[in-house]
């Protein structure tokens, strides 16, 4: 099921998660992890639309 975030809080959450999923995807490409099922295209869509709306991924502390 694919839906777009509605509220500012949902947009912030979506870009945060999409950014982390892209990091997981990169880890897969480098052989660090195996068999992720991440829709990178959707992550990119959310990050691009979020950026247009003024949202950027928040830096987390610690691991992903």
What are 52-61's pLDDT values in tens digits?
Answer: 999 999 876 5
Long-range contacts of 46-51 (CB under 8 A, 24+ apart): 46/5, 46/14, 46/15, 46/18, 47/15, 47/18, 47/19, 47/22, 49/4, 50/5, 50/11, 50/12, 50/14, 50/15, 50/18, 51/15
pLDDT, position 13: 93
By mean pLDDT, which of 2-6, 34-38, 49-53 is the weakest?
Answer: 34-38
Q: Report the pLDDT averaged over residues 40-46.
A: 88
pLDDT at 17 over 60: yes
Q: Indicate the pTM of the whole model.
A: 0.67
């Amino acid at each position: 099921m694919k839906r777009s975030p509605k509220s500012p809080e949902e947009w912030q959450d979506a870009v945060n998660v999409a950014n982390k999923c892209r990091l997981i995807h990169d880890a897969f490409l480098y052989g660090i992890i195996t068999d992720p099922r991440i829709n990178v295209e959707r992550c990119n869509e959310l990050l691009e639309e979020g950026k247009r709306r003024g949202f950027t991924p928040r830096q987390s502390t610690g691991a992903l």
